Amino acid sequence: MAHLLHLDSSADPERSRSRALGRTFADAWLKANPSNTITYRDLHARPVPHLADASLHWPARLRPAGSHPPAEAEALQTELIDELVAADVLVVGAPLYNYSLPSTLKAWIDHIHVPAVTAPFDVETQPMKGKAAVILSSRGASYDAGTPTADWDHEVPALSLILGSALGMRITVIQTSLTLADTVAALAPQLDRSNAELAAAHRAAAEAATLFGTSAAAASA
C-alpha cells in the first residue's frame, strides 16, 4: 500500500487541464494497487492562508528571540507538513500564472519548506528525500527551447528547486502547453500541437502513477 498527496491549484474548476491530468493520475494510482490511498487538497477551493508570521519559516528553536507566531497558524503549518511527510508520492497540479506559481500553491510552499524540518540546515533532515514529486504543468502559451521566451516559465524551475534540491524529492515534470489554442485566435494554428501534448501528458500521467503506485506500494509493504 502507498499513499499519495494530490494537490490542485487551478482557479478553473471546469476546464482545467492540470486538474484533468491530476484525475488521470489519481485513477491510475488506485488501479495500480487497490490498497493505495489518496489525500486530496484543493488549494483554490480551500486556500491555505498566507504565512502568518515570518518566524514560521523556522522551527521554534531557530526563531528570532521574542517571536510568537499565532498558535493557530503554527497548528496549520504542522498539519500541512505532517500531511506531506505521510505521503509516499506527491502530485501537484501546477498551472502557469503570470509566468510563476498560482499564489495558492505558493502559500502552501511557504508553509511546508522549513529549513531544519523538511530541508537540511544545521541538521541533515530531509523526510521527503527520494520520494517522487510529479509536477503537472499546464501553460497557456509555449516556451520552447531556442525561442525568445524559453526561460519565461518561472514555475517549474522554482518547484523543482524547492521540492527537488531543498526537500530531496525525485522530480517528474509532465507538461501540457498551448492550452489557450482553443480560445485565443492567435494561437489557433497550434491547436493540433496543443491537443497532441495534452494526450501525451495524460498518457505520461497514467504511466507515472502506475509506476510509482506499484513501486511505492512494494517499498512500503
Ligand X SMILES: Cc1cc2nc3c(=O)[nH]c(=O)nc-3n(C[C@H](O)[C@H](O)[C@H](O)COP(=O)(O)O)c2cc1C
Residue positions forming the annotated binding site: 10, 16-18
CB contact set of 84 (below 8 Å; sequence gap of 6+): 5, 90, 112, 118, 128
CA dist., res. 49 & res. 53, Å (int): 11
**Residue 186 touches ligand X, criterion: CB under 6 A:** no
Nearest to 7, CA basis, from 48, 39, 50: 39
Distance separating alpha carbons of residues 185 and 1, to the nearest angstrom: 47
Least spacing, CB of residue 151 vs ligand X, in Å: 13
Confirm or reject binding of residue 202 to ligand X (CB under 6 A).
no
12 binds ligand X (CB under 6 A): yes
Which residues does residue 170 pair with via DSSP β-bridges, in sequence order? 132
Q: Which stretch binds ligand X (CB under 6 A): 17-25, 35-43, 163-171, 189-197?
A: 17-25
Listed ranges 7-15, 103-111, 120-128, 159-167: which one lies at the site for ligand X (CB under 6 A): 7-15
Kindly report the backbone phi and psi dihedral angles of residue 61, in degrees, each rounded to the nearest multiple of 5, phi listed first.
-70, -15
Number of residues that bind ligand X (CB under 6 A): 18
Residues from 132 through 151 that contact ligand X (CB under 6 A):
138-141
- Provide the annotated binding site for FMN: 10, 16-18
Please, what is the minimum distance in Å from the beta carbon of residue 176 to ligand X? 7
In the complex, least distance from residue 28 CB atom to ligand X, rounded to whole angstroms: 18
Residue in the structure block whose three cell numbers are 506500494:
217
- Distance set, CA 121 to CA 65, 106, 115, 157 (Å): 19, 21, 5, 21
Q: Is 120 in the site for ligand X (CB under 6 A)?
A: no
Would you tell me which residues interact with ligand X (CB under 6 A)?
Answer: 10-12, 16-19, 95-99, 138-141, 179-180
